[in-house]
Amino acid sequence: MRPHHTWIGPGCLAEIAAVLARVRPRKLMLVAGPSAYPRSGAQAVVEPAIAGHAVVRFTGTTANPTLADVKRGIALWRAEQPDAIVAVGGGSVLDLAKLVGLLGPNAHGWDGSASIGIAPDRSGVPLIAIPTTAGSGAEATCFATYYVAGEKRSLSHPLLRPGFVLVDPLLTASMPPQVAAASGLDALAQAIESLWAIGATPDSAVLAEAALRLILPCLGDLLRAPTPALRERLARGAHLAGQAINLSRTTAAHALSYTLTSDLNLAHGHAVALMLPAIFRINASPGQRRVADPRGAAYLAGVIGRILSILHCRDGEAAAQFLERQTAALGLATSFRCGTGAPLADDLARRVNAERLGNNPVVLSHRDIVAIYQRLFAASLAA
């Protein structure tokens, strides 16, 4: 098992240098977004630290990694054979670097068709993950996503978790307002979903509750008064939420969000935020729906009660409305025009991610999912 080293704080130049001195790469690969890397200030911090090393650069990344992106990264890794990877960026950049770092040495003949699970015969290369957004938690997880023909795929393996994580809240300061808002809401959703997930454990619950308590007070001031202290609090909360979902995985809100991202080009965190209120209503009041968590309905009710207490909401409907207001207050649309609602809702429902949906504590029918999408589109048409 590769080592895990996590550092959180402002000013990571010295820490990058210390990690590289520990890894001692002959050649390293830098994976970064073409615009976010200089804009975030990461370039000014990272370049001095890697100046004494031979560097292979992979910067042609897209907003949501595709199979083609992953294959290009693997081809570059195999051509150059770097000893370590430094990944700097948001969740998409980090996921891409995680995939390249493990699949480069291992996936001969891999065509992207297997969505979960690989059996590597080599341990991959050391990965130094430096997030420039506070939300995805990708630096803390052992899974990575990519898209094939608009459909989300995921690989999961312990070796996908970065060995070295450097979280510098100063690098999140240049996030555009909408990116900051979507990232913060993604972290909030991860904390809530991790708490009620079927896969939740006592350890993940501790992490998720701590994350929720850190993140929630930050959202109101995220765009209005983003002080360094607030950025650090949010960065810590987002990292804890990533650690939580690494154990529990996400649930229905994420499951329903992926097609909104692939088909309607919504930012991932925005799409999750649009789905979370409806899922909260159902999980808080299952009615005749089956509670799938083997710990039972009483256990789920207790979890929902703890979440409601943290949110200061009396019931699931109040929590759902609170979450909708949070999204609107952060300047993100809560409705959008997308053409005819019913046929699109049915199509999206048929392509919902089954893995994440199966981790939801309450079973959602196809009719439930169609109704959730239709409500969103109906709001759009009425807007």
Domain layout of the chain by residue ranges: 5-172, 177-382
CATH homologous superfamily for the domain 177-382: Dehydroquinate synthase-like - alpha domain (1.20.1090.10)
% of the chain at pLDDT higher than 90: 71
Whether pLDDT at 339 is above 60: no
Whether pLDDT at 380 is above 60: no
The overall pTM is greater than 0.85: yes
**How many other CB atoms sit within 10 Å of the CB of residue 379?**
16
Q: What is the pLDDT of residue 335?
A: 73
Q: What is the pLDDT of residue 245?
A: 98
Q: Rounded CA gap, 348 and 103, in Å?
A: 30
Whether pLDDT at 95 is above 50: yes
Condensed to tens digits (0 to 9), the pLDDT of residues 35-86 reads: 889 988 999 999 999 998 999 999 877 778 898 999 999 999 999 999 999 9
**How many other CB atoms sit within 10 Å of the CB of residue 370?**
18
Q: What is the pLDDT of residue 341?
A: 53
Q: Which band of pLDDT confidence, cut at 50, 70 and 90, is reported for residue 383?
A: very low
Q: What is the pLDDT of residue 340?
A: 52
| Average pLDDT of the chain to the nearest whole number | 90
The separation between CA 212 and the C-alpha centre of its own chain, rounded to angstroms, equals: 15
Domains 5-172 and 177-382 alike in fold: no
Q: What is the pLDDT of residue 229?
A: 92
Which CATH number does 5-172 carry?
3.40.50.1970
Condensed to tens digits (0 to 9), the pLDDT of residues 155-201 reads: 888 989 999 999 999 999 888 888 899 999 999 999 999 999 999 99
151-156 and 143-148: which strand pairing?
antiparallel
At 116, list the tokens: 């979960």
Whether pLDDT at 209 is above 60: yes
Closest CA relative to residue 122, chosen from 110, 107, 142: 107
Whether pLDDT at 338 is above 70: no
At 188, list the tokens: 């909030």
